[in-house]
Amino acid sequence: MSRNPIRLCNQLRINCSMRAAVCGFLWLALNITAVYADDVDDLPVVKLAPHMRTEGHQAVFAKLPCDEVGKTAAQTQAEQHALAQRKQECLAQYQQFIPTKALR
């Protein structure tokens, strides 16, 4: 270390300012976490429990939009039946736009 008093004074200032900055940041961090910790306790608690699905394949195909009915492939016999039923429902919706007699 040098004996230069100006240099020693500058190093002391830097040391003190760094310690003050660290203490300031620490104080700020502790106050911020205290504010957020109070907000977390006020939130309602939602308890979820596992349960089995009661809807079958028919409910999945009943919610399918008519645009996607043609793109969907059924795997099982029950799915094929539900998909065919949904196709009939979609056809009934668009039945008014289909001409009854073909133009010749």
pTM of the model as a whole: 0.42
SS (H, E, C) the chain: CCCCHHHHHHHHHHHHHHHHHHHHHHHHHHHHHHHHHHHHHHCCCCCCCCCCCCCCHHHHHHCCCHHHHCCCCCCCHHHHHHHHHHHHHHHHHCHHHCCCCCCC
* Per-residue pLDDT, 98: 74
* Per-residue pLDDT, 27: 78
How high is the mean pLDDT in each 10-residue block of the chain (104 residues)?
Answer: 73 80 78 57 77 69 85 85 89 79 58
Neighbours of 19 (CB within 10 A): 10
Residue spans of the domains in the chain: they are 1-43, 57-97
Tokens 């039923």, residue? Answer: 85
* 93 CB-near residues (< 8 Å, 6+ apart): 66
Report the length, in residues, of the chain: 104
Alpha carbons 98 and 79: distance in angstroms, whole number: 27
